[in-house]
Amino acid sequence: MWPLLITSFTLCLAPSYQQFPRLCATREALRTKECCPPWDGDGSACGASSGRGFCQDVQVPDFPDGPQYPFSGLDDRERWPLVFYNRTCQCAGNFMGFNCADCKFGYFGVNCNERRESLRRNIFHLSRAERLRFISYLNLAKHTVSADYVVATGTYREMENGSTPLFANISVYDVFVWMHYYVSRNALLGGPGNVWTDVDFAHWAPAFLPWHRVYLLHWEHEIRKLTGDMSFIIPYWDWRDASGCDVCTDELMGGRSPLSPNLLSPGSVFSSWRVLCSQAEEYNEQGVLCDAREEGPLLRNPGNHNRNIVERLPTSAEVEFALSLPNYDTGAMDRSANMSFRNTMEGFGDPQTGLGNSPRMGMHAALHVFMNGSMSSVQGSANDPIFLLHHAFVDSIYEQWLRRHRPSLSQYPQSNAPVGHNSEYHMVPFLPLHRNREYFISSKDLGYEYSYLLDAGEFPQNGNVLYASFMCYLYVLLLLLLYYCAFDVRQICHR
C-alpha cells in the first residue's frame, strides 16, 4: 500500500502556507521588498478588489529586547520580516494567507463565514481506518512538492540584497521541517564557526507555546488543503506516566528495526523517510544555512538516552505541578526563569520545584531527549512525525493552563523578552504574519478543542482514560434514569 501511495503522489504540486511564497521569491519582489501576490479570485493584489485584504506597510514596534542577544542588524530574522519585505498583505475580516486566499483558523467556506470547531483526539482513540488515513496523509505531504512555497538556502546578504535569489523547492512536509530549523538555528555572525548560540526565536522564552500553536494550526490547514479532507485534525499522544514509546509501532509511528536499534522497522512507511536540516554543528562550522538536501534516514532509539539528562518520561504529578504555576513567565523570561509555567512546561524549570536552569530536562524537552535520535536535535526535531503528536499534547496542556488561570493579554510580555519573543513581534518565519500575543488565547477562539478537555471544568490526571470514563459515566446515568422511569418515579423523571 505504501509504495503505491509514494508512486502515485511523488512530486505532485500542492499549496503550502508558510515561509517564502514562490511569487515573492523573485528578484523584483526582494529588491522592492514587497510581498503582495494577487488572489486568483479577482487577480488583484491581496484580493483588494473583492475586499479580502490590502497591500500595506509592515509595522514592527521598537520595544526593547532582553540582553541574551547583544546584536542588531546581523540576523535576517530580527524584526521579521523587514529584512526581506516591508510590505505584505494585511487581510480583512475572516480572510488569511499570504494573498488573503484562505480563511482564519476556525473558519471555512468560500467567503470564510462558516464557523466550525475541530476536535483533536488521542491517537489511541482513533479507529484503524483513521490511523491509516493519518499516516497516509503524512506520507503524501512528505512526497509532494509545495507549489506555493520555497525555502531560503542563503542569507539576504548572500543573495546580494535580493539580486541573486537563493531558494529551493521542498516537499509540503519538509517546509515545516525547514521552518523549525530556521526559527531555532544559531545566528550567523559572518565566516566559518562564527555563530551566536544563545538565540532562538521559538524556544527558551515566552513565544515557545504560541509559536508552536501556530505551527500546528498551519500544518493542520496545509493537510486539509492538500487532501481536500476538511475534517482532518492532528491527534495527540498523551505521554504522561508512559514507560516507553507506545506510539512506536509499525501500525503507528514506526517500530524499532531488527537490523539497528537506531533505525525504524522496514514494516513502517517512515523507515524510507530521509531527513534534512539535521546537522547543526556542520552548518555552524561552515557558517552557512541548511541547503534543504537529504541527509540520511530518520533516526530513533527511544529509551536509550542519557539518563543523567532525562530520568524518564513526565508524570501526571509533574504536569499538574506545572499547571498550578500562576505566572506564565518570570524574571529574564529565558531558561533561568523560576516558577514560570512556560519554562517548566518547556523543560528547563524543575517539574517538582519550578526552579530554572534545571540540571535535568523535564516535560516537553524530556520527550525529545527520550526519543534519542532525530527528535533530540532542536533544529532537526520536526523530521520525526512523532513531533506532531508530542506538540499537540503540549499544546493541550498550554490550553489547560489558559483555561485554569485565564490570564489577561497583559501577562504576555510586551518588552524585554529575548529577541523575537515580545508580544508584538511577528513570528519567524511565518508568511502570513502572526504576532506572538495573538495566540495567547484559548484554542476555542481558534476553532479547535481537545477531546479530554470537553468539560472546561475538568483538569484530569490521566487524559488517556478521561474520554472513556466520561462516556461510561453518561451510560450509567442513562441506565439509572431509565430504571427509575420504569418504576414511575415522577419526581426524578419530571425534574
Domain boundaries, the chain: 115-304+372-450
Give the whole-angstrom CA distance, residue 323 versus residue 344: 9
- pLDDT on residue 479: 41
- pLDDT on residue 147: 86
Q: Which DSSP category does 274 fall into?
A: B
In this structure, are residues 409 and 419 in contact, taking their beta carbons and an 8 Å threshold? no
Query: What are the C-alpha distances in Å from 8 to residues 240, 270, 463?
Result: 38, 17, 38
Cα radius of gyration rounded to whole Å, the chain: 23
- Grid cell digits, residue 144: 509532494
CB atoms within 10 A of CB 307: 11
Give the whole-angstrom CA distance, residue 36 versus residue 46: 6
CA atoms within 13 A on the CB side of 476: 6
- pLDDT on residue 455: 59
- pLDDT on residue 13: 41
CB atoms within 10 A of CB 408: 7
Length of the chain: 495
Give the whole-angstrom CA distance, residue 454 versus residue 442: 13
- Grid cell digits, residue 424: 508584538
Q: What share of the chain is helix, strand, coil (3-state, %, to 5)?
A: 35, 10, 55
- pLDDT on residue 269: 97
DSSP for 44-106, written as a single string: SBTTGGGTSEEEEEPP---PPP-TTS--SSSSTTTTTTTTT-SEEEEE-TTEESTTS-EE-TT
In this structure, are residues 323 and 397 in contact, taking their beta carbons and an 8 Å threshold? yes
Nearest partner of 224 among 139, 141, 119, 121, judged by Cα:
141
- pLDDT on residue 268: 97
In this structure, are residues 273 and 250 in contact, taking their beta carbons and an 8 Å threshold? no
- pLDDT on residue 19: 75
Per-residue pLDDT of the chain (495 residues; tens, 9 = 90+): 333 333 333 333 433 334 799 999 999 999 999 999 999 999 999 999 999 999 999 999 999 999 999 999 999 999 999 999 999 999 999 999 999 999 999 999 999 999 999 999 999 999 999 999 999 999 999 999 998 899 999 999 999 999 999 999 999 999 999 999 999 999 999 999 999 999 999 999 999 999 999 999 999 999 999 999 999 999 999 999 999 999 999 999 999 999 999 999 999 999 999 999 999 999 999 999 999 999 999 999 999 999 999 999 999 999 999 999 999 999 999 999 999 999 999 999 999 999 999 999 999 999 999 999 999 999 999 999 999 999 999 999 999 999 999 999 999 999 999 999 999 999 999 999 999 999 999 999 999 999 999 854 444 333 333 444 444 444 434 444 444 444 343 343 333
Give the whole-angstrom CA distance, residue 342 versus residue 349: 9
- Grid cell digits, residue 210: 504560541
- pLDDT on residue 316: 98
- Number of helical (H) and strand (E) elements in the chain, helices listed first: 12, 16
Single-letter amino acid code for the residue at 371: M
User: Tell me: domain 115-304+372-450, CATH 1.10.1280.10, correct?
Assistant: yes
CB atoms within 10 A of CB 27: 13
Q: How far is CA 6 from the centre of its chain?
A: 25
Q: 511577528: which residue's cell?
A: 426
